[in-house]
Structure 1
Amino acid sequence: MNVEPSRSVLRRLRAVDWSDEGGAWRHENSRACLMREYLRRAALWADHCGAERSWPFFDLAEHVDAAVRIPAGIAAELDEVLRGVGPSSVRTTCRAAVRWAVLRTESPAGPLPDLPDPYEPLLALYERGGGFFVEEFIDLGGAMVRLGTVESNLAARPFLTLAPATLDALDAEGEITYYAKISEGYPRSSPRGIVRRRVDDGRTYDEVFTRNLRWEPTEYLRLYELGHNEVDHVAITEIEAAAFIESTTKRLTGSR
């Protein structure tokens, strides 16, 4: 049995600081995006497997190939890692992520459907500030996410940009509005650039994502409001902003 995939997930879980309240606050925007993407992916798999009643925080392997088991040695280590971790929904998904890694390499049930990895967004979320609690909303310790239903999450827009640098670029304090700079040949889907306006404690900060791959102050929005800019802009979603950041990072760094 190839235990490396499951051991790799175990190593990631072992490195999580489950009491990192500061990290949860610093990464509240990206963690909210990751949770919404997990809910969407879990809904896709639940719909495919007929497991809607088990959604959202469930052991997907049980519905795909119940015969798959975590190797005894890794299961014992996982018990140690999760000792004291709560609530049960977090422990369930951690075990499920390890079991899923086993299933991906060892399942005799045949090839998996062409659906995205269900647990990767949650693993990234845990790495960026620990777990969550489920009450009326999903409480991420810095952000609140609406649970919704399987049907509403099936219709949600995908958040496919999980690179740490992209997630870092989404994290900032205040209420944020993103804008794409558009003109002829540069539509919303492929803009000249993006800017954001943050309002925090009554102060406004305008920033542009630059070739230095970071947010830097800009006068663009203020000048536009005064009628001194010819380049137009349109409000965009956080998901669109993340896609631009990731594509720009890949283009400028040559990464894939």
Structure 2
Amino acid sequence: MPHIKTLTVLGTGVLGSQIAFQAAFHGFAVTAYDIDDAALDKARARFAHLAGIYRAQVTGASEGQAEAALDKLSLSADLGAAVADADLVIEAVPELLELKRDMYRKLADLAPARTIFATNSSTLLPSDLKDSTGRPDRFLAIHYANNIWAQNIAEVMGTAETDPAVFDAVVEFARNSGLEPIEIKKEKAGYVLNSLLVPLLNAAAGLLLQGVASPETIDKTWRIATGAPSGPFQIFDVVGLGTAYNISASSPDAGSRAFAQYLKENYIDQGKLGVATGEGFYTY
């Protein structure tokens, strides 16, 4: 079974930065890649913010563990250099099929032959991407929940071509990263988590577009009636309205596309992307 010691994360947005920091927090050497220095400056701020969260919220953490994680993180805007020594590359770029395929075509030429590729896509199947990787036997999906330090699952899902030893190595990596591996036995759009979550979010979007109730009322109803800590529009803000827009805009469902247009006109065009920007459906 391959042994994973070094990780590269492609994309330092909300979840990409969490994936990188979680692994570094548990002792992995991590390189975080993004497209330019401006993106990396934002990543440094996210990592510093995450260090504070981990110090305050992760029980059982040793003194200085969050600071040690920052020392294990390196940042790069050079894709070749970022993946040159990677045992595992986790791709966390925007949910756009051709963008991801293009990234894998580049990776195929740049990464060592031993490197395992994994997508963190929440909506695309690994089969949608495997032919672009040049190594379908060393490719699969690993999907994380947001607020990874608390909602600490990692859903691992391969294709029919994924080497079982590669699958097992990624499961072990997840476990060694302080996560609970969720082994998916067959490809399923949405994995387990989003197969349960997305219908809730779609229903909430439909209620809003139909004028049935406000986001605050919909969220309050869900929280009180189910005991859940967050309502669907609070979840949208955490996930990021840019991600919600990309997923909705690419859907064949007319209602989803209408929600994408609503998000663009009322939030995205005003720079309101959710928790990451301090304002979305709510102000933070």
Q: TM-score, normalised by structure 2?
A: 0.25
Bigger Rg over Cα: 1
Q: Which has the higher helix share?
A: 2
Q: TM-score, normalised by structure 1?
A: 0.27
Q: Which has the higher contact order (CA 8 A, sep 6+)?
A: 1
